[in-house]
Amino acid sequence: MTPLPRWADVVLLPLLNVVLAFLVGGLIVLAVGQNPLQAVGIMLYGAFGYGSGFGYTLYYTTDFIFAGLAVSLAFHAGLFNIGPEGQAYVGGLGVILIGLALNGMHWALVFPLMIICGALFGAAWAFVPGYLQAKRGSHVVITTIMFNFIAVSMMGYIISRILKPAGVNSDESAPLEAITRVPQLRGFIELFKNSPVNLTFFLAIGALFLVYWLIWHTKFGYAVRALGNNPVAANYAGISNQKLIMIVMALAGAFAAMVAVNNVGGVQGRLILNFVNGAGFVGIAVAFMGKGHPIGVGLSALLFGMLYQGGQELAFQMPGITREMIVTIQALVILFTGAMGDMLRGPLGRMFAQPDPAAGAK
């Protein structure tokens, strides 16, 4: 198969896959008697057309960036981290513990400590599958999947039996005071009125730059990529594969835990059941659609943020399109950009192939 130019592989191929997914989704919308072009217009307006909608899009994008980076970082080391959902959930425990311990103090002091404590809890949770992979040979895919279920059960018990205040009916922790919570951007930018996007969005943008620098401009990143490309050669070159696997998984868990900073420390202001709400699983699609590159992860996260917010607007504006149909459209994007992401690679390769001069001479 003819290799694609770099720009076609990174930009054109994912774009065509998204267009193909929307075309198939448009056929589904057409089949129920609705106008596909009108549906797309409503989705775009709901995601970008007014301040609150745009704010919600950026809020979802923030979660998806962190989850996507957690998957991408492990992927560069040849590891398939399916555990951001559980890692973010456990990270919420670290965020709320430091938040409640310093409740009433200014957010400028508490915000960095939330980042540190959440990262430590998320890293510790991801370190265990990394250790089992490195030392015991337990495949990280299996262990991270199981740790998602363990996290749900453990956090459910902690929230409902330990952190839940007396006299409160719902399963949630005590709330953080307004001065302690991560401030929402609507307090600084009027455009984002009534939307939950907060300062964690800028933390997500910073994380994209950090991962780019870490993977492509440091000795550590070179070792990570060497491990992912050829573990035998990396070990022969003096790299400790076992040590690196554990470190990379811990770092991936730390990035996933930033979802908790966005939600527990900012939007909710308390620890509630299932606050991650599937963002960790969406991060898998974001990472693969973005080819593991921070720029691709950022753009993919924005696309899925648009799908989430635009889908809610679509369900409200066009009652004929149910929530299940919107989930189907989102699933089609994942299907065509993930599982079938290379379907168009062959035709594009033939399109970009250079003609053989020798064949022409004959």
**pLDDT tens-digit map of 190-240:** 999 889 999 999 999 999 999 999 999 999 999 999 999 999 999 999 999
CA–CA distance, 276 with 85 (Å, rounded to integer)? 7
Rg for the chain (alpha carbons), in Å?
22
Q: pLDDT digits over 72-109, tens only?
A: 999 999 999 999 999 999 999 999 999 999 999 999 99
Domain count, the chain: 1
When the pLDDT of each residue in the chain is averaged and rounded to a whole number, the result is 91
Q: pLDDT digits over 138-189, tens only?
A: 999 999 999 999 999 999 999 999 999 998 889 999 999 999 999 999 999 9
Query: Looking at the domain assignment, is residue 341 inside a domain?
Result: no
The pLDDT confidence band at residue 359, using thresholds 50, 70 and 90, is low
pLDDT at 221: 96
Tell me, what DSSP letter sits at residue 132?
I
Query: Looking at the domain assignment, is residue 322 inside a domain?
Result: yes
**Is a pLDDT exceeding 90 seen at residue 62?**
yes
Query: Looking at the domain assignment, is residue 1 inside a domain?
Result: no
The pLDDT confidence band at residue 34, using thresholds 50, 70 and 90, is confident
pTM of the entire structure? 0.93
Output the DSSP codes for 250-301. Answer: HHHHHHHHHHHHHIIIIIISS-BTTTTTTHHHHHHHHHHHTTT-HHHHHHHH
Query: Looking at the domain assignment, is residue 2 inside a domain?
Result: no
Residue 242 C-beta-side C-alpha neighbours within 13 Å: 7
CATH number at residue 62: 1.10.3470
| Cβ partners under 8 Å of residue 331, min gap 6 | none
State the CB neighbour count (10 A cutoff) for residue 3: 11
297-303 long-range CB contacts below 8 Å, 24 or more apart? 297/65, 297/68, 297/69, 297/72, 297/208, 298/65, 298/205, 298/208, 300/14, 300/64, 300/68, 300/337, 301/61, 301/62, 301/64, 301/65, 301/68, 302/57, 302/61, 303/18, 303/333
CB crowding 142-152: b at 16 or more within 10 Å, else e: ebbeebbeebb
- Strands (E) in 49-198, as ranges, are none
**Is a pLDDT exceeding 70 seen at residue 1?**
no
Query: Looking at the domain assignment, is residue 316 inside a domain?
Result: yes
**Is a pLDDT exceeding 60 seen at residue 357?**
no
Q: Structural domain of residue 79, as residue ranges?
A: 35-336
Does 288 or 6 have the greater pLDDT score?
288
Query: Looking at the domain assignment, is residue 355 inside a domain?
Result: no
Asked if 1 and 345 count as a contact pair (C-beta separation under 8 A), the reply is yes
The pLDDT confidence band at residue 331, using thresholds 50, 70 and 90, is confident
pLDDT at 2: 67
**Is a pLDDT exceeding 90 seen at residue 349?**
no
Query: Looking at the domain assignment, is residue 359 inside a domain?
Result: no
**Is a pLDDT exceeding 70 seen at residue 358?**
no
**Which of the residue ranges 122-131, 151-160, 327-336, 339-348 would you say has the lowest mean pLDDT?**
339-348
Residues 86, 66, 115: CA angle, nearest 5 degrees: 85
Work out the average pLDDT over 352-356: 67
**Is a pLDDT exceeding 70 seen at residue 356?**
no
Query: Looking at the domain assignment, is residue 239 inside a domain?
Result: yes
